[in-house]
Structure 1
Amino acid sequence: MNGSLHSSPGVVDIKLKRGPAGLGFNIVGGVDQQFVVNDNGIYVSKIKEDGAAALDGRLQEGDKILAINGVVLEDLTHRAVVELFRTAGEDVELRLLKKLPRHMNGPSGSQPEPSSAGSLWAALALLGAATALAFIYVKNRRQF
């Protein structure tokens, strides 16, 4: 990679070998399709099961792709980045800014963050319980 992007914490370089189904991940972002407010960066949105990226294991959803084969992705459109990936060859070197882990408040930060799916199910369960109680109340209410 060229030296245009200085190494900093969380920045890593990885090489992936293109498989039969490509590199095995999807991207979002670009100057024309901002994924993060005030950030034109390109982010990994999905790792495809059994794809080259999943088998390698280092690329994760939420990682920001800073460069492809030494080409810095600043201020590029989504389509331009897709074209860079298409023409990158069989061996592709990526410079990434790894997704930062979220930490909870508290001394250890070791408590798991609630997942949005878990929170959704909890909210639905609470809503269901409230609906059932309201139904029972209305059904058992006596007319005077």
Structure 2
Amino acid sequence: MNGSVAGGGYAEEIISLTRRPSGLGFNIVGGTDQQYVANDSSIYVSWIKKDGAAYLDGRLQEGDKILAINGKDLKDLRHRDAVELFRNAGYHVSLKIQRRLQPQNGPVSHQGDGDSGGLPLAAILVPGLALAATAVWILLRYRQRM
């Protein structure tokens, strides 16, 4: 993600979108008159429309806090006023968003770097199948002797 890591486990990013005929392709919640998060009147992304501008861009996520649109701070706005800003934002829209970073538990694994970060599935299945085949063979031998 291109952006700066802010204190408290948050990252900020600027996302530029081009409005499509159907709009920007996401819904918002929040505002001073309908807080989405207790004691927080910020504007949040609640839903991203499949095949909309935000979806096709791929960076905006549900739950992102929108700090500004085209440089206009969204702090302390009523919901309907924020909606009007989005509707009148023009064809090219710049969003400043804030996203809560997910805590990492355990070792970090990166896809494509040659290290899977754990055992490959075959390393578990092959010995398991060999053990099962051996157990079946022993059972059949035991039943022949009876």
Both proteins in one fold, TM over 0.5: yes
TM-score by length of 2: 0.65
Aligned to 2:78: 77
Larger Rg: 2
Aligned to 2:92: 91
Q: How many residues align?
A: 102
Greater alpha carbon shift after TM alignment, 63-72 vs 93-102: 93-102
Write out per-residue CA displacement over residues 74-116 of structure 1, whole angstroms, 9 at most, x where no aligned residue: 000000000000110000000000233255xx54488xxxxxx
Aligned to 1:18: 19
Aligned to 2:62: 61
Structural RMSD (CA):
1.8
Structure 1 stretches of 4+ with a deviation exceeding 3 A read: 106-110
Aligned to 1:124: none
Consecutive unaligned residues in structure 2, runs of 5 or more: 110-146
Aligned to 1:51: 52
| CA–CA separation in structure 2 for the residues paired with 1:26 and 1:67 | 15
Consecutive unaligned residues in structure 1, runs of 5 or more: 1-6, 111-144
Structure 2 counterpart of 1:35, one-letter code: Y
Structure 1 counterpart of 2:16, one-letter code: K
Question: Superposition pairs for residues 119-138 of structure 1, below 5 Å?
Answer: none
| CA–CA separation in structure 2 for the residues paired with 1:108 and 1:8 | 21
Label 1:59 to 1:80 Cα distance change in 2 as closer, same or farther (>3 A): same
SS in structure 1 of the partner of residue 17 of structure 2: strand
| CA–CA separation in structure 1 for the residues paired with 2:70 and 2:44 | 16
Structure 1 residue 20 displacement after superposition? 1.1
